[in-house]
Amino acid sequence: MSIVEHAVVAAAGLGSRLGHGKPKCLVEFGGVSVLAHIMSLLKDVPDVRVVVGFMEAAVIAELQRVRPDAIVVRNPSFRTTTTLHSYALGAQHLTGDCLFMDADLLIVPETFHTFLEGCRPGEARLALTASKTKDAVYAELDGEAVTGFRRENPTAFEWSNISWLPVKYFTDIGMTAVYEHLRRYLPMTSGEVVSFEIDTAEDLAQAKENAQLFGLAAT
């Protein structure tokens, strides 16, 4: 049984590298949006907060269709801020621990739920996935503990942009990437998920090749 009660999902970005002219969370696989896929993974989490920005009306409309009880958090500065700021906005007024994740992910459900079941109060945890993304954040490991991040010299695992973290980690942030901010809190324990990030056209092609893993059609 998972202890996860709160989740913040960052869905404010432009998605410019994918080049579809719409948020990555609205990309569809066989008529199922990536956002709908993520909301299905979070169906047992009572408090889900989705941070919106680019084309927010379209994202909110899809969210209301698939998870009408989710809380919408606006990031009006999405063009000039990072995902870190979306996480901080989503976590406002929360205490304790929270699941943080991006809205451009396809994840094998069984592996996701196993990760959640391994979360413990006050124990920061990062979800890793086998390295496959062209622009990955690679994890440096000592056993199951993440001791560092790097962008060069690939390791066996990359950070999946899924984390279980104390919300106090987001009370003092700068203008930086999430992984750079999290360096100050390493080492952290980790768990493995099978996931694909939809960030570039190459990522999307990879995800389509493996769509059956997620119970989705590749079209």
Structural contact between residues 26 and 58, judged by C-beta atoms closer than 8 angstroms: yes
Structural contact between residues 115 and 194, judged by C-beta atoms closer than 8 angstroms: no
pLDDT cut 90: percent of the chain above it: 77
What per-residue confidence (pLDDT) applies to 96? Answer: 97
Is pLDDT at 82 greater than 70 in this prediction?
Answer: yes
What per-residue confidence (pLDDT) applies to 143? Answer: 95
What per-residue confidence (pLDDT) applies to 22? Answer: 81
What per-residue confidence (pLDDT) applies to 134? Answer: 80
Among 8-22, 23-37, 112-126, 195-209, the range of highest mean pLDDT: 112-126
Domain architecture of the chain: domains with CATH: 6-214 (3.90.550.10)
What per-residue confidence (pLDDT) applies to 17? Answer: 58
What per-residue confidence (pLDDT) applies to 93? Answer: 93
- Which of the two residues, 28 and 212, has the higher pLDDT score? 28
Q: pLDDT averaged over the chain? A: 91
Give 154's pLDDT tier (boundaries 50, 70, 90): very high
Which helix (H) or strand (E) element contains residue 205?
helix 201-209
Q: How many alpha carbons fall within 13 Å on the CB side of residue 217?
A: 5
Give 218's pLDDT tier (boundaries 50, 70, 90): low
Distance, CA of 152 to CA of 162 (rounded, Å): 21
Whole-structure pTM value: 0.94
CA distances in angstroms from 166 to 15, 45, 169, 204, 205, listed in the order given: 27, 16, 6, 31, 34
What per-residue confidence (pLDDT) applies to 94? Answer: 96
What per-residue confidence (pLDDT) applies to 133? Answer: 84
Per-residue pLDDT, averaged over 171-191, amounts to 95
pLDDT digits (tens, 9 = 90+) for 88-134: 999 999 999 999 999 999 999 999 999 999 999 999 999 999 998 88
What per-residue confidence (pLDDT) applies to 180? Answer: 96
Q: Which of 8-22, 123-137, 147-161 has the lowest mean pLDDT?
A: 8-22
Structural tokens at position 84: 């870190």
